[in-house]
Amino acid sequence: MRKGRSMPDGYERIDGRVSRAEPQAFDWAYQLTLTLGHTRYDTFDLYARSDWNDNRNAVRADGSIVLGARTAYWIGVSGHRMFDAHYVGQHQPTREEAENVRQALDDFVTVYLEKVDPPQPATTPALRALDSGLRDTVVIPKVIEGSLIDRAFPEIRDVQGRQPYLQAATGALTQRLGSHLGMQAGELEDMLVRTPPGQRFEALADALVEHDPLQRRLPDGSSRTPPADHVARLKANLTQELDDIFEQCGESSRQFDQGAERFGRRAATSVLQHCAQARDAIDTDQAGYQQVASLMSVVQADLATGRASVSQGRDSEAQVLQLKLNTDYWNGRLHTSGLPEGALGYADSDRSLSFDQEQVIDVLANADPAEPPSPELRAAVDVVATEAARLCNPVAPGTRPNDPAGQAIEDQLCRDFVGQERDRLYGALGFDADQPEPDTTATAQVVATLTEAAARRQGLEPHEITARLLTAPSNERIERAAALSLGEPGMVVDRSRWAEATKTLAGTIEATITKAADADRNGQTKLHAWNRATAGERLSHQLTTAIEKAGRPVRQADISGDDALRKSIAAATSGQPRPGSDRTNGSDSTARRGHQPDKSSQRFTGR
């Protein structure tokens, strides 16, 4: 190297004709520009300090770079190995030389980053720690890969940076978070590297909130929209938590400790737990939001879990998460306007919920658990729980059936479900148990008869049948109810005969529910003037008879061979007593035969 004529004392210009340091530095700068995602690359003047003991690197006001003496020397050695011809048997670089070149590369990257991304005065120690961690885990390896310097110094990839603890902790944390967000390997790290250093914590918090499947996405991938003030608070909290994490792992006393990767994984877990807690506990100033979310949680939790069916060969007491993917359908958006005329609440097809401000939202927000539930509060709870249940349609959440029978059975299933969950719903708002008013409509009696028949056949409780029907597509509920009432085909039952019986029974159920809904709508208490039974009692009896009739050919399908044995097998698979047995499996004989009308004034409720 030769001293420049017009340079101040202590500087020497690095000239490509004299030293290979210049082309090597320019190549590293170019590779670094690609890594950072900058749009342009400019050449710059390069100088070296003449005093071997002065290894400071600096960016001058005119944009030129001054390298320390030792840094400049090893950049030149690296350039010599890269750009000059070599011959077989030439001296091979040692690990110590690879370490010196790796150190020179680190020094050059540091000073070049100061040139293209000058540090901001408000940069915190945590931000500087993240910058250093990304430099060692992402930036340096990419420059090594792009410049092919590992061909000249094969061991350079195995050389650690100046802060090994910070390097390992940063790598473990970003890898864990990127994997959780569904990103490709290195994608999150690349995003952070291309973000200005002072904005990296905000960018990482934004990625966690916007792309976390538990925070901003429903199970099917559609958008979930928590309130804006909740999102802002969550991002601010995550930013502060990330600042605390990197301030800890950047402490100089840690840099040669063991367990850096464990620290990074635990830190990532802490951040993700914060996100999960925020998802389940929305922090918002929107009136009524917490109450609606609490009621929605009760509805979804109950519709998500149910006992397995005996007919499926499972333990009837086993709890299985069989419906969860069909129930987490609220997108988090709560509206208080845009309701259809006369409606108190509405579940929209975009999976949002809308409720009347005065009669629902204000009532819930102002309710006092120290006082008994008022009629207004009961009405508000019922409408929120009902619309929450309507969102659990897995095909078209919030979409109501078009046919009268489908609408009638959905409305009644919602009423039955809300009545069954009344204690839990009021408990979620801090109130004691509230006794529901008895539902004596014809539709209620018919639907109760249907769910009880299916429950006996499946070995479940009626409210579990209600949950299964609510979480079925609205256009399939009646046929699903018929199938549940008949049970799965036994080992010796012709499946085509079972399918035909199911279709026939579904038609009968639809017609019966339509008649019941018409009777309720017209205020009709009796179907015939000469019959003492109410419309609900009469229709329930007819439905019971239809279910028994439809199931008879299925249970008595074509049987040959050992008739008694086959009947026993068929009975066991259907939940009925074996031939010749009086055992009823907990069901009385009247229930199995269907309701027999009493000549007295006894009322049949179907419950």
Q: What is the pLDDT of residues 230-270, one digit of tens each?
A: 999 999 999 999 999 999 988 888 888 888 999 999 999 99
The reply to whether 404 and 270 lie within a common domain is: no
The predicted pLDDT at position 416 comes to 94
The reply to whether 220 and 369 lie within a common domain is: no
Place of tokens 């690349």: 190
Confidence of residue 219 (pLDDT cuts 50, 70, 90): low
Report the domain count for the chain: 3
> Mean pLDDT across the stretch 224-229?
87
Domain that holds residue 164: 51-280
Among 405, 434, 463, identify where a domain stops.
434
HEC states along 126-179? Answer: HHHHHHHHHHHHHHHHHHHHHHCHHHCCHHHHHCCCCCHHHHHHHHHHHHHHHH
Q: How far apart are CA 323 and CA 61, in angstroms?
A: 66
Contact 241, 278 (CB under 8 A): no
Q: How far apart are CA 151 and CA 305, in angstroms?
A: 59
The predicted pLDDT at position 425 comes to 93
Most trustworthy range by pLDDT among 245-259, 439-453, 485-499, 575-589: 439-453
The reply to whether 369 and 442 lie within a common domain is: no
Q: Answer yes or no: is pLDDT of 324 > 60.
A: no
Q: Answer yes or no: is pLDDT of 290 > 80.
A: yes
CB-side neighbour CA atoms (13 Å) of 432: 4
Instruction: Give whole-number Cα distances, 195 to 33, 129, 402, in Å.
Output: 13, 15, 52
The predicted pLDDT at position 560 comes to 40
Confidence of residue 551 (pLDDT cuts 50, 70, 90): confident
* Nearest to 174, CA basis, from 199, 216, 203, 196: 203
The predicted pLDDT at position 493 comes to 56
* Nearest to 404, CA basis, from 521, 287, 535: 521
Q: Answer yes or no: is pLDDT of 572 > 90.
A: no
The reply to whether 425 and 445 lie within a common domain is: no
Q: Answer yes or no: is pLDDT of 583 > 60.
A: no
Q: Answer yes or no: is pLDDT of 567 > 90.
A: no
Contact 284, 189 (CB under 8 A): no
Contact 406, 393 (CB under 8 A): no
Question: Quick one: what percent of the chain has pLDDT higher than 90?
Answer: 45
Question: Does residue 189 fall inside a structural domain?
Answer: yes
The reply to whether 422 and 470 lie within a common domain is: no
Q: Answer yes or no: is pLDDT of 405 > 90.
A: yes
Among 413, 434, 455, identify where a domain stops.
434
Question: Does residue 450 fall inside a structural domain?
Answer: yes
Instruction: Give whole-number Cα distances, 545 to 301, 587, 590, 598, in Å.
Output: 35, 16, 11, 15
Place of tokens 């007491």: 317
Question: Does residue 595 fall inside a structural domain?
Answer: no
Question: Does residue 321 fall inside a structural domain?
Answer: no
Among 46-55, 192-201, 458-467, 550-559, which is the least confidently predicted range? Answer: 550-559
The reply to whether 423 and 446 lie within a common domain is: no
Q: Residue 155, by phi and psi: left (phi above 0), alpha (psi -120 to 50) or beta?
A: alpha
Question: Does residue 369 fall inside a structural domain?
Answer: yes
Among 390-404, 476-490, 584-598, which is the least confidently predicted range? Answer: 584-598
* Nearest to 9, CA basis, from 59, 57, 66, 61: 66
The reply to whether 298 and 388 lie within a common domain is: yes
Q: Answer yes or no: is pLDDT of 584 > 50.
A: no
Among 97-106, 426-435, 473-482, 504-513, which is the least confidently predicted range? Answer: 426-435
Q: Answer yes or no: is pLDDT of 530 > 80.
A: no
> Mean pLDDT across the stretch 274-302?
87
Q: Answer yes or no: is pLDDT of 321 > 60.
A: no
Phi, psi of 200 (to 5 degrees): -70, -40
The predicted pLDDT at position 50 comes to 87
Tell me what the pLDDT averaged over the chain comes to.
Answer: 81
The reply to whether 379 and 264 lie within a common domain is: no
Question: Does residue 270 fall inside a structural domain?
Answer: yes
The predicted pLDDT at position 39 comes to 66
Among 152-166, 391-405, 549-563, which is the least confidently predicted range? Answer: 549-563
The reply to whether 300 and 418 lie within a common domain is: yes
The reply to whether 200 and 179 lie within a common domain is: yes
Q: Answer yes or no: is pLDDT of 175 > 80.
A: yes
Question: Does residue 245 fall inside a structural domain?
Answer: yes
The predicted pLDDT at position 246 comes to 95
The reply to whether 215 and 300 lie within a common domain is: no
Confidence of residue 605 (pLDDT cuts 50, 70, 90): very low
Q: How far apart are CA 25 and CA 418, in angstroms?
A: 72
Confidence of residue 87 (pLDDT cuts 50, 70, 90): low
Instruction: Give whole-number Cα distances, 511 to 341, 407, 514, 527, 562, in Å.
Output: 30, 13, 5, 14, 40
Q: Is the pTM of this model over 0.85?
A: no
Question: Does residue 410 fall inside a structural domain?
Answer: yes
> Mean pLDDT across the stretch 129-145?
92
pLDDT in tens, 410-450: 999 999 999 999 999 999 999 987 676 777 899 999 999 99
Buried residues in 435-468 as b, exposed as e (16+ CB within 10 A)? eeeebebbbbbbbbbbbbbbbbbbbbebbbbbbb
Q: Are strands 46-49 and 11-13 parallel, antiparallel or unpaired?
A: antiparallel
Q: Answer yes or no: is pLDDT of 580 > 70.
A: no
The predicted pLDDT at position 115 comes to 87
